[in-house]
């Protein structure tokens, strides 16, 4: 049995190599440059990740792509750009109705918005309080909603959920605050 790899298998190493910071930056720059006429001032790049599409034929090397997600909060749209950094080409898809997971940046922004609202600020300010994110129901109009759960720690353990809040990043406002009973256990 031969231990030598085929040329196609050897060539795959460059396709499946981890995404470099430079490739990610170039893909994000190309995507935002091409999307600029479509975007409002209130948008955010959620990230870039390596993507390898299955080739049409098994003897063909797959294309190395970088997928870039861009959310436009004002226009309530999410775009996915599949970028070939080497060829500087881009395939753009409007992800109508699709809501990717919230980024850490979005969660931080939602917390700042919520904690400036008196309905939630009092929970955030309690001794032992902490906040965790939950997946809010998707908005039918494409707005980006972030759910925040305010809870309190007592004796080193989460002991009570105080409130749930839903923040709309599209309007930069708190949509709803639901105070829970003081005795509800965290979850």
**pLDDT digits over 90-126, tens only?**
899 999 878 899 999 999 999 999 999 999 999 988 8
Gap between the Cα atoms of 76 and 17, Å rounded? 34
Residue 41: closest CA among 69, 74, 76? 74
Rounded Cα gap, residues 134 and 115, in angstroms: 16
CA atoms within 13 A on the CB side of 143: 18
The per-residue pLDDT for range 170-186, each reduced to its tens digit, is 999 999 999 986 544 44
d(CA 152, CA 163): 10
> Mean pLDDT across the stretch 145-164?
87
Which H or E element spans position 24? Answer: helix 21-35
**Domains along the chain?**
7-94 (3.10.450.40), 104-179 (3.10.450.40)
CA distances from 53 to 78, 108, 120 (A): 21, 33, 44
Nearest Cα residue to 110 out of 96, 122, 124: 124
Average pLDDT over residues 12-38: 92
3-state DSSP call for residue 38?
A: helix
Q: What is the pTM of this model?
A: 0.81
**Strand pairing report for 77-84 and 89-94:** antiparallel
Residue whose C-alpha is closest to residue 173's, from 150, 153, 142, 143? 143
Res. 58: pLDDT tops 90: no
Name the band, by pLDDT with cuts 50, 70 and 90, for residue 68.
very high
């Amino acid at each position: 049995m031969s231990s030598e790899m085929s040329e196609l298998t050897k060539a795959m190493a460059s396709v499946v190599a981890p995404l470099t910071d430079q490739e990610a930056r170039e893909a994000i720059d190309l995507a935002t440059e091409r999307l600029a006429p479509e975007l409002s001032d209130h948008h955010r790049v959620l990230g870039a990740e390596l993507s390898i599409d299955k080739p049409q034929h098994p003897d063909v090397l797959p294309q190395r792509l970088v997928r870039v997600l861009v959310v436009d909060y004002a226009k309530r749209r999410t775009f996915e750009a599949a970028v070939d950094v080497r060829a500087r080409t881009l395939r753009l898809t409007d992800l109508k109705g699709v809501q990717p997971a919230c980024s850490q940046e979005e969660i931080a922004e939602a917390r700042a918005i919520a904690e400036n609202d008196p309905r939630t600020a009092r929970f955030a300010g309690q001794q032992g309080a902490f906040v965790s994110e939950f997946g809010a129901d998707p908005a039918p109009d494409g707005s980006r909603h972030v759910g925040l759960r305010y809870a309190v720690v007592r004796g080193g353990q989460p002991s009570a959920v105080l409130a749930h809040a839903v923040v709309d990043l599209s309007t930069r406002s708190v949509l709803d605050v639901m105070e829970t009973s003081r005795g509800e256990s965290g979850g």
